[in-house]
Structure formats: C-alpha cells, structure tokens
Structure 1
Amino acid sequence: MNIPTTVRNYLARKGGQYKVHAASAGLSLAEAVRTARVPVQKLVRSAVLKDGSSYLMAVYPATHRLDLAVLNGNSRRNFTACASEELTALLVDCDVAALPPLGEPYGIKVIIDRAVDEMDEVFFMPGMSHLFLRAQQGDFARLTGTALRGHRISSPVTKATTPAETKREGMKEKVEQVHTLPPMPGIATQILKLRNNPYANANELAAVIEQDPSLTAQLLRYAASPFYAYQGKLTSVEQAIVRVLGMDFVMDFSLGLALGKSFRNPKDGPLGLDAFWRDALHVAALTQTLCNAIEFSRRPSPGVAYMAGLLHNFGFLLLGHLFPDQFNRLNKAVAEQPERPVLDLERELLGVTHTEMGLWLMDAWNLPKEIVETVREHHNGDYRGDFAIYPNLVHIANRLLKRFGMGDASGIDLPADLLEAVGLSEEQAEAALGTVLQMREGLQFMARKMAA
C-alpha cells in the first residue's frame, strides 16, 4: 500500500479505522473511482490556495465546484490556485493530482465545506491517485480537528444538459489536470539570469539580445522612438543601452518580448495575436509613461512597469496554446458580445479566466512577484496589497486605452481614489496617454512583427 509516508505517519498518530479502496495505477480519476467502487457522492477533494505567502487547503465534495468568490469574500482575502510546481514543494511526497484533505501534517491550514460534515462517511485520496481511504465521519473529524468548519465554500455542479455545458465542465477538468506548462525560452532564461546578477554589464546583455535579430530590431526601434527624442544614430544594442534606455529597462523590455515567443496562437479576432500584441505593447508603453510621471521619491521601476504592462494578459496566450478550440470559442464570443466583460464570458464558457491561467504561467516561470501580482490584480482597481503600484498603473492604462478600442477594461473613467493611490493627477494621466498616442505608428509596427 503506497500511502505517502507523511500521511501514513499522521494517520497512525491520530488513530481511527480506515478502509483502503484501490484501483489500478494509471487510470483517470473517473475510471479509478468506478473501479475502486467509491460512491462519488461521498468522495471529497482538496485544493491548495495561495494569497501572498499564506496557504489554505480547501476541502469540499467531489460533486461540487470550489467557489473562490465566496471564500475570498467571506475571508476578505484573495486566494488563487497554486501552480503544480509549488504544490510539489509543499506536499513533497504526494501526487499533486490526488491531494489528501490533510493539511496539518504539511503545515497548511484547512477549511472544510459544511457539506462534508453532513456525510455519514467520507472517501478521500491519501496522496496517491489510485488509492482511496474510507473513514466514518467521526474518524474523519478527528483527522481534521484543527480545520475551519461550518462555511459554504463550494456549490453543487449541475449535470450538463447541453453540449456546450458538457464541454465547459470538460475544460474545467482539463485545466485542473494540466501540470506541464510551456518552458521559458532560452534567451529569456539568459536575460533573467543577467537580471539576477548585480555585476552584469551592458556588453553582456547586448550579446544575449543580439542572438535574436527580431528582438534586436525592436529594441533599436523603440530606443529611436519620439518617446526618448534621441537625436543621434544608434547602430548597436549596446549603444541603445548605454546612451538611451539603461540596463534595467532593457532587461525588462527584452525579457517580456522574449517570453512572447513561446506561443503561436491564431492571429485574427479581438484575442488573436494581432490584437494581443497591439494592446500589450500600448499598455506597456503607457504603464511606463505613467510610471515616469510619478514623483521621483515614490516612483517604481519603469522597467518593471513596462514588463508588467506587457505580460499582464499572458493568460490569453496560454489559453490558446493549451486549448485552441476553447480559445477560438472565446475569441468569437468576445467579437460578438464586445459590451460584456471578458471575465464574465470566460467564466460562462470555460470555467476559468485568463488571470488564473496567467498566474500558473508566471509561477511556473518564476517571474518577479511584481509581475505575478499584476497578472492577478490588473482588473481590480481597488487592490492595495503587495506591489499594488504595478497592477494599479496597468489598470489605469487599460482604462485610458479603452477609449481607443484597446485593452479589456470594464470602463474608461479614472477613479479619483485610484489616481491618488499611485500619486497621479487626471491631467498627468491624460498627458501620458497623449505621449503614447504619438508613438502609435511605431508600436503598431512592433506589434505586427511580434504577431508575424
């Protein structure tokens, strides 16, 4: 019986009686449940969630869907699903597709849906996907005695009655089972290594960038744009770094563009590569410009601001990469219903949002926390948590650009409290928009190159 050592020792300490139901290894969850004769209405599942540096294990019936909106609203937190790599580090001896509902032996707090406490007996996976343990409610309550109880954190999944609903449930299950995300491109890895090296110099950075002619051309074109008003002639990446852009900005600019080379999605439609790179480059440039307008003493890094704007919607790229059929359906829906918020359409059609998918990717690539928080919070104009300046600036940039048919903001007004939070006036924000619109031709050219 291959129960993970941590779980086995915990069960021994807590006592009680548990019956093992086993299926053949390698089966899908549905096949394993059927083969092991597990009544699905008595099966529970676990999800490990993260909010900053805090973790929480949510335990709920397998016939339910975790309701993060309710959980976050009740707890006044902003929990999201952990990436598989982080789960592997937290529950070192468990199969991440078969998490046990036992957070205590792993140092993780647990919250249990009240529907679980209403079961007379409970079946759960002990960390191995082909094994199930059966426990009477009293024994299960003893195992999870320190957990938070009495809350509704999930809702029953209604049986799919149409082909569209069936596909939606299938999408949700597929996303939850994805454990292999696209690897970081080689040049991006080299740039990130230099970014973490305090002794890196312009010559070393230029040598990495010049391995990619397309990246080199885009960097030189950006350095020569009206935004910088440089009067001389730039003939090398090193000149652009030293004379115009600076090391920090070039690292973040180049890293963001290099990361985009991992995906080859459809070009057409409001979420296609043409529109994606048009929007991403404009938001990035405007976020950087807004950043530079902030008083120097509280100004964040312009390079990080640019990269935050460039990467904030990378979840769309991952969606198209992993699930092209579902991406095409969403792309069509956004085109047909432009007045509806894209997050609503995603939840309705797919069961997941581009922010969730983007978070998995940022975590898998181990990108800076500033970028992770931007991906997570760029739709939330009220966010004031860690590194809030970056998602707040991206939120403002999206609202400004919405006036010109770009971005996925829900409105075009600029809330006064948001402007105050970042240290900008409405006049400064409007001036920054005007500056970026003067760069529009160059940004469109770069977008076409990125989408080609």
Structure 2
Amino acid sequence: MNQIACNEMKYRPEESAISGPIDLEQILARINTLPAMPVIAQKLLGLALNTDQGETQMLKLVAQDSQISAKIIGLSNSALFATPGIITSIIDAAMYLGLTQIKSVAIGMATVSALTKPPEGKLKSADLWAHSMTIASAMRVIAKHMPAKTRPVDEQIFLAGLLHDIGYNVLNIIAKDTCNALYEKLSTPSDASPLEIEHALLGTHHGEIGAQLGIHWGLPAEIIAVIRYHHIPNSANAEIGQPLVRLVNLAERMLPDFAIIESTAQEITPQEWIALGIDPGKADSIAEQISSVAEQAKQLISII
C-alpha cells in the first residue's frame, strides 16, 4: 500500500480533535495524522510548464478533477480577474489567466479542500480562501512595482499568497474548540498583538503550525518560510523566503482583516518599500490599486 493511502487510512478527525489549550508539542504529535497532500497538488508542484508536454499535462490534470476545474472556471468569471466574455472551460481559463496562475490556484484549492471537514468552526474555510486569494492578488499588484530582476515569478507569488495562512486550516481540524476560542479573542479589541494572543492560547502561532504541515507535505523551502514568517518578515531565518515573505506581510497590512480577523493594520514605512526595491512615492497609487482588488474580491466568499 502506498504512503498516501496509508496516511488517508490513518486520518480520523474524531480521533485527532483536541479540547482545551494546546501547544506546539501537541500539534507536532498530530501533524502526521492529517491527510497526505492531495495527489493532484503533488503532481502539479513537480510539473514544469516550460514545455508543451508540461502544459498539456497540467491542463489534463486539472480537467480530470471536476470539482477543482469547476471552481477555477467560476473564479475565472469573477470580477477579480475581469476576463472578457464567459469562461466555460479550463482551456479558456488558461488562455486568459495564464498557465502558471491556473497551476497555483489548483494547488491552493486542492490543499484547502484537503484541510476542510464539516462541521466547521467559527473560522470558515470559505473566508480563509477568500482572504488568501485576495492577498495573493494584492501581492501581484505590489510585485509589479518591483525591479524585474528581483521580482518573484507569478507562480511563486500566487502559491505563497494562497498557502500563507494554511496554519489556520490545520488548527480548525486538529483543535476546533481552541480555534473557536482564538477566533473570539482575535475578534475582541485588545492591546496585545495577534501573535501575542496566539502564543498565550496556543504556545505557538498559526505560522509555525502551517510550517509544520508544509514540512510534513514536502512543500518548497521558500513557501514554508512564507508560511512561518509572514508576520515576522525581519527574522533572519526568513531570508530563504524573501521577497515573498515581505510581499505577504505588506499585502496583509494593506488589507487588514479582509474576510478573516487578524488585526494586521500597521503603517508601512518607506524603508519597507525600499527593501522591495519600490519607490515609497508609489505607495498611495499601490494602495488605490489594492483597494480596487479588494472590492472585486468580495464575491470570492462563495467560490470555494
């Protein structure tokens, strides 16, 4: 029996739920009980799109998963991507959105679906998806103002944005009651920062939880760094994930509490723009573009 099948047989939601406060040691003990990375996500991660064969394989993989392909077509018709006409097939979606974007969105959808189980707690997977998709789109807006030589490719940008908060999905599965308590605390005005609140309740934070899943799943090192450090971008250990880590951090602070409560609002300094190679004088224009992205993304709550 292959490893994926073994992991799927081992996963029992009712056995892995935790009641009450938890800490990193408890989380690590249960990471291996979570579902394996979906097969389609594994295949897409390892698929290069720089050949005709790679492109054909990618479109075939996505088309074979009716649930994911239907969601991508629905997303393609949303205001966020403003595609001309009506998109009715994956080929049409790839033509207008681009193959790399389709690949990243498919990976994101597959991983989120693997970490969603009813009944959900107060932190809804649809809200997390809308938040992550919008952050990914905002990251792309910011990245367009970076020098071409240091700008990440669209595939990396979208994958980083879609998976940065996956720790919340993990927490929702292994400790729904604790996740509900965290949701309530983050929703209540406090002088403590979100990370301080999470540490007080969990003994860790959602970035570390998500990073542990990323390690378990064998995600690329730069994506694991994004997941782990997107709220602490100045950490020396975040270097392997730069500039993606900074892109996520700035996007979240420019769209505080979009779809989920994280209380990330904080003024962005000129030095932070300069660290990305962006002229601080463009900050207002970037903010306007991201505000427009947020307006277009509001309908994403229903696309998951």
TM-score by length of 2: 0.80
Determine if contact 1:316/1:354 at 8 Å carries over to the other structure.
yes
Query: Gaps (5+ residues) in structure 1?
Result: 1-165
Indicate yes or no: 2:231 matched with 1:379: yes
Q: Which residue of structure 1 aligns with residue 180 of structure 2?
A: 328
Structure 1 residues 386, 171: closer, same or farther in 2, change over 3 A? closer
Choose from 222, 225, 231 the match for 2:84. 231
Q: Percent identity?
A: 24
C-alpha distance in 2, partners of 1:175/1:231? 45
Structure with larger Rg: 1
Determine if contact 2:75/2:303 at 8 Å carries over to the other structure.
no
The CA deviation string for residues 93-127 of structure 1, in whole angstroms up to 9 with x for no partner, is xxxxxxxxxxxxxxxxxxxxxxxxxxxxxxxxxxx
Q: SS at 1:201's partner residue?
A: helix
Structure 1 residues 301, 239: closer, same or farther in 2, change over 3 A? same
Choose from 357, 378, 387 the match for 2:209. 357
Indicate yes or no: 2:248 matched with 1:389: no
Structure 1 residues 218, 339: closer, same or farther in 2, change over 3 A? farther
Give the drift of 1:422: 0.9
Which structure dedicates a bigger proportion of its chain to helix? Answer: 2
C-alpha distance in 1, partners of 2:253/2:182? 22
Segment drifting more, 172-181 vs 395-404: 172-181
Give the drift of 1:361: 0.5
Dislocated runs of 4+, deviation >6 Å: none
Determine if contact 1:374/1:391 at 8 Å carries over to the other structure.
yes
Structure 1 residues 328, 350: closer, same or farther in 2, change over 3 A? same
Q: SS at 1:413's partner residue?
A: coil
C-alpha distance in 2, partners of 1:213/1:427? 45
Give the drift of 1:216: 2.2
Determine if contact 2:121/2:172 at 8 Å carries over to the other structure.
no
C-alpha distance in 2, partners of 1:436/1:254? 23
Give the drift of 1:435: 3.1
Q: Which residue of structure 2 aligns with residue 420 of structure 1?
A: 274
Choose from 63, 66, 69 the match for 1:210. 63
Choose from 195, 213, 218 the match for 1:343. 195
Give the drift of 1:374: 0.5
Indicate yes or no: 2:218 matched with 1:366: yes
Give the drift of 1:207: 1.9
Segment drifting more, 402-411 vs 185-194: 402-411
What is the CA RMSD across the aligned residues, in angstroms?
A: 2.9
Q: Which residue of structure 1 aligns with residue 37 of structure 2?
A: 184
Q: Which residue of structure 1 aligns with residue 47 of structure 2?
A: 194
C-alpha distance in 1, partners of 2:46/2:143? 25
Which structure dedicates a bigger proportion of its chain to strand? Answer: 1
Structure 1 residues 379, 172: closer, same or farther in 2, change over 3 A? closer
RCO higher in structure (CA 8 A, sep ≥6): 2
Determine if contact 2:73/2:89 at 8 Å carries over to the other structure.
yes
Give the drift of 1:173: 4.4
Matching residue's letter, 1:369: A
Query: Gaps (5+ residues) in structure 2?
Result: 1-18
The CA deviation string for residues 365-390 of structure 1, in whole angstroms up to 9 with x for no partner, is 11112211101211123246223100
Structure 1 residues 267, 443: closer, same or farther in 2, change over 3 A? farther
Map 1:256-335; keep pairs closer than 5 Å: 256-264=108-116, 269=122, 271-335=123-187
Structure 1 residues 325, 368: closer, same or farther in 2, change over 3 A? same
Q: Which residue of structure 1 aligns with residue 298 of structure 2?
A: 444
The CA deviation string for residues 391-418 of structure 1, in whole angstroms up to 9 with x for no partner, is 1000000110017675635432112222
TM-score by length of 1: 0.56
